[in-house]
Amino acid sequence: MALSPPGLDAFLDKFEETLEALVQSEVLFIRLIHQDLVTAGGKRIRPRLVFLASRALGGAPFEMELALAVELLHSATLLHDDLIDDAETRRGKEAAFRKYGNAVSVLSGDFLLSRLLHVIAKTGRMELVERFAQVAKTLSEGEVLQFQVAALEDYSLENYERIITAKTAVLMELSTEGPALLKGVDGEVREALARFGLFYGQAFQMRDDYLDLMGTPEALGKPVGGDVREGKATLITLLLMERFPEVREVLRRKGRREGDLDRLRMLAWESGVAEEVERRIRERALLAAAALKPLPPSPYKEALEALALKEAERLS
Amino acid sequence: MALSPPGLDAFLDKFEETLEALVQSEVLFIRLIHQDLVTAGGKRIRPRLVFLASRALGGAPFEMELALAVELLHSATLLHDDLIDDAETRRGKEAAFRKYGNAVSVLSGDFLLSRLLHVIAKTGRMELVERFAQVAKTLSEGEVLQFQVAALEDYSLENYERIITAKTAVLMELSTEGPALLKGVDGEVREALARFGLFYGQAFQMRDDYLDLMGTPEALGKPVGGDVREGKATLITLLLMERFPEVREVLRRKGRREGDLDRLRMLAWESGVAEEVERRIRERALLAAAALKPLPPSPYKEALEALALKEAERLS
């Protein structure tokens, strides 16, 4: 099966083991947070990207360190995000901060960032440190921008593209470009992997945002409409806003009036906006798959393509 | 004057300029947070330590990058700390999170950490990256431990020493040891600078904690008793607890009953505990100064000694 090419399962098993050892701490509250969130699983999409990109190149040195580093950055962001999102559940579990307070979540996230620094130092590659510096900068700017856009109601498709690129796509880009960097592969192959990660990340976030409103709570493992309740506009609400001025009002009152969310969903279905968003996601996923052209054929390349195409139809 | 040896003022001016450029962002809310907190001044103790240690060695490469990096780590911790401390003011200004929400503070702190990564990458020294990884790990563990000790009322002098070392002293240690690392100086001189930073950092935090209860709001620029109101035991309350069981109760109720703080202060003065704490701080400051023995005489060494001795009497 294209989504599970040779060696992937073993790599992911080894990943879990190494991650667990890496985030050990003598401090009890840090261990509790990590049991709750970091080592509790999750889809491990970023480590998967690292593995596939590495093997599509015939294997890159330090692929495990890179996989750990990208996942640590992602996990730290989730911990720092719990404050923002106010999502009642994340990965189907009670959000960590409700149990131990915001402070412990934030500081446990900082602990993860320190471990990230440790694993990238192991590679001995300063170029990788610098790339993580850029990505971490863009990522934090993207998160703040999202907050700012909601606070100032500065809604636009341009801002939406900036946000999904900064908060999601650049880390996916590093996940797939990183193996080329570590292997010393330059030129169109490295560029192809970078472009794949960027487009894939955008498609991924567009799909997540779409499901946040249009999915089912059962499939998502959390209530729908989280973005609306935080006043965050996503592609679907932005396109709806262009046609129905009332949507801006719904966002302003954070979907608090009864029937607000159902109304948005109905408008999206009936106006064809839902279909339009699906079309744009599919388009982005196809760009990702097409970007891989310069790579030689391999089951790993196929698995990357399959991952991208999955975004065109994913329901959870 | 020993506290301002040749070149220090020019270095600190250049530092402010470089810091301001380094934390620029296209995102408005990040700029606002930084104007408020990061570039608003502060004592710049850590950059000062870097400069003095570097010049005591005759000048180390990348002293500015190191000064920026240690201050960025410190500033990020302050931003992530605003959540915990609930201090109404910090550096005499309204805490950033009150204006823009906890989320923006945390994410702006993350932005600073990304800039830290960028400046240490510039040095090209992976050993420095690894040292920052260790310090950041210890720092976050120290902060969480402090929270945990308060939550579990796990008060002890041993935990107090662990906390002040982890949350303050190890970063001071890196500030003074770092120049030796960058210059490739090993052996007893590097060890001397490291020991100085560690003892100085402990004395510094002990003094801060002492003033938090025993100082005046005018000199501190914030209300006294912040630690008690967060249920945090410091050296003075720990020693009081040994003699007066009621102090544990005061800490448990977070000094909320009228007269609680005045009562603690009175007990400290009358029992001689205040004097005992002063004695222990002085002792630690003298250990710091004595650690510098292996260094050749210079105005920079003198300035470091003077900094340490100032902790024996500082009132603000």
When mean pLDDT is compared across A101-110, A299-308, B63-72, B231-240, the lowest value belongs to A101-110
**How many angstroms away from the CA of A122 is the closest CA of chain B?**
8
* Residue B13 token pair: 């001016």
* Residue A84 scores a pLDDT above 80: no
pLDDT of residue B81: 76
Mean pLDDT for the stretch of residues A23-33? 89
A-chain residue closest to B86, CA distance:
A103
Whether residue A8 contacts residue A303, with contact meaning beta carbons closer than 8 Å, is answered with yes
Q: Is B5 helix (H, G, I), strand (E, B) or coil?
A: coil
Q: What is the DSSP letter of B257?
A: S
> Under an 8 A CB cutoff, do B110 and A145 touch?
no
For residue B313, being part of any structural domain is answered with: no
Q: How confident is the model at residue B86 (pLDDT cuts 50, 70, 90)?
A: very low
pLDDT of residue A82: 67
For residue A103, being part of any structural domain is answered with: yes
Q: How confident is the model at residue A32 (pLDDT cuts 50, 70, 90)?
A: confident
> Under an 8 A CB cutoff, do B126 and A121 touch?
yes
* Residue A92 scores a pLDDT above 50: no
* Residue A233 scores a pLDDT above 90: yes
Whether residue B97 contacts residue B82, with contact meaning beta carbons closer than 8 Å, is answered with yes
> Under an 8 A CB cutoff, do B114 and A140 touch?
yes
Whole-angstrom distance, CA of residue B220 vs CA of residue B222: 5
| Class of residue B155 by CB neighbours under 10 A (exposed 0-12, middle 13-18, buried 19+) | buried
> Under an 8 A CB cutoff, do A27 and B141 touch?
yes
Whole-angstrom distance, CA of residue A145 vs CA of residue A159: 8
* Residue A254 scores a pLDDT above 50: yes
Whether residue B117 contacts residue A136, with contact meaning beta carbons closer than 8 Å, is answered with yes
For residue A2, being part of any structural domain is answered with: no
With beta carbons under 8 A apart, name residues in chain B contacting A111: 137, 140-141, 144
Share of chain B above pLDDT 90, in %: 78
Does B169 or A151 have the greater pLDDT score? B169
> Under an 8 A CB cutoff, do B144 and A107 touch?
yes
Mean pLDDT for the stretch of residues A106-125? 95
> Mean pLDDT for chain A?
91
- Mutation site for A-interface testing, chosen from B125, B140, B146 by largest number of A Cβ within 10 Å: B140
* Residue B73 scores a pLDDT above 50: yes
Mean pLDDT for the stretch of residues A86-110? 63
Q: Are strands A89-90 and B89-90 parallel, antiparallel or unpaired?
A: unpaired
Whether residue A99 contacts residue A83, with contact meaning beta carbons closer than 8 Å, is answered with no
The number of distinct structural domains making up chain B is 1
**How many angstroms away from the CA of A3 is the closest CA of chain B?**
33
* Residue B92 scores a pLDDT above 50: no
* Residue B141 scores a pLDDT above 90: yes
Q: How confident is the model at residue B100 (pLDDT cuts 50, 70, 90)?
A: low
Mean pLDDT for the stretch of residues A171-193? 98
Chain centroid to CA B119: 21
Share of chain A above pLDDT 90, in %: 78
Mean pLDDT for the stretch of residues A167-185? 98
* Residue B98 scores a pLDDT above 70: no
Whole-angstrom distance, CA of residue B83 vs CA of residue B103: 10
pLDDT of residue B80: 87
Whole-angstrom distance, CA of residue A82 vs CA of residue A43: 18
Whose CA is closest to B273, among B224, B214, B203? B214
For residue A207, being part of any structural domain is answered with: yes
pLDDT in tens, B125-134: 999 999 999 9
> Under an 8 A CB cutoff, do B133 and A140 touch?
no
Rounded to 5 degrees, φ, ψ at A274 are -60, -45
Whether residue B144 contacts residue B186, with contact meaning beta carbons closer than 8 Å, is answered with no
Contacts of A173 (CB under 8 A, 6+ apart): A135, A194, A197, A198, A201
Give whichever of A79-88, B33-42, B110-119 has the largest mean pLDDT: B110-119
Mean pLDDT for the stretch of residues A6-25? 95
B-chain residue closest to A135, CA distance:
B114
For residue A3, being part of any structural domain is answered with: no
Mean pLDDT for the stretch of residues A86-107? 59
When mean pLDDT is compared across A14-28, A70-84, A214-228, B14-28, the lowest value belongs to A70-84
Q: How confident is the model at residue B190 (pLDDT cuts 50, 70, 90)?
A: very high
Identify which of A102, A124, A143 has the shortest CB distance to residue B102: A102
Identify which of B83, B107, B143 has the shortest CB distance to residue A140: B107
Whether residue B112 contacts residue B72, with contact meaning beta carbons closer than 8 Å, is answered with yes
Q: How many CB atoms lie within 10 A of CB A188?
A: 12
For residue A316, being part of any structural domain is answered with: no
With beta carbons under 8 A apart, name residues in chain A contacting B141: 25-27, 30, 111
Mean pLDDT for the stretch of residues A220-229? 91
Q: What is the DSSP letter of A65?
A: H
* Residue A201 scores a pLDDT above 60: yes
Q: How many CB atoms lie within 10 A of CB A157?
A: 12
pLDDT of residue B88: 40
pLDDT of residue B250: 96
Whose CA is closest to B197, among B295, B60, B113, B126? B295
Mean pLDDT for the stretch of residues B171-185? 98
Amino acid identity for residue B212 in this structure: D
Altogether, the residues listed in chain B come to a count of 316
For residue B3, being part of any structural domain is answered with: no
For residue B197, being part of any structural domain is answered with: yes
Residue entry with tokens 């480590």: A47
pLDDT of residue B259: 95
* Residue B194 scores a pLDDT above 70: yes
Share of chain B above pLDDT 70, in %: 93
Mean pLDDT for the stretch of residues B235-261? 96
pLDDT of residue A105: 84
CATH of the domain at B107: 1.10.600.10
Q: How confident is the model at residue A99 (pLDDT cuts 50, 70, 90)?
A: low
> Mean pLDDT for chain B?
91
Q: How confident is the model at residue B195 (pLDDT cuts 50, 70, 90)?
A: very high
Q: B208: domain range?
A: 8-308
pLDDT of residue B133: 98
What is the rounded (10 degree) CA torsion for B291, B294, B295, B301?
A: 30
Instruction: For Cα atoms A275, A277, A279, give the angle at the middle one, nearest 5 degrees.
Output: 70
With beta carbons under 8 A apart, name residues in chain B contacting A131: none
Helix axes A45-56, A188-214, angle to 10 degrees: 160
A-chain residue closest to B145, CA distance:
A27
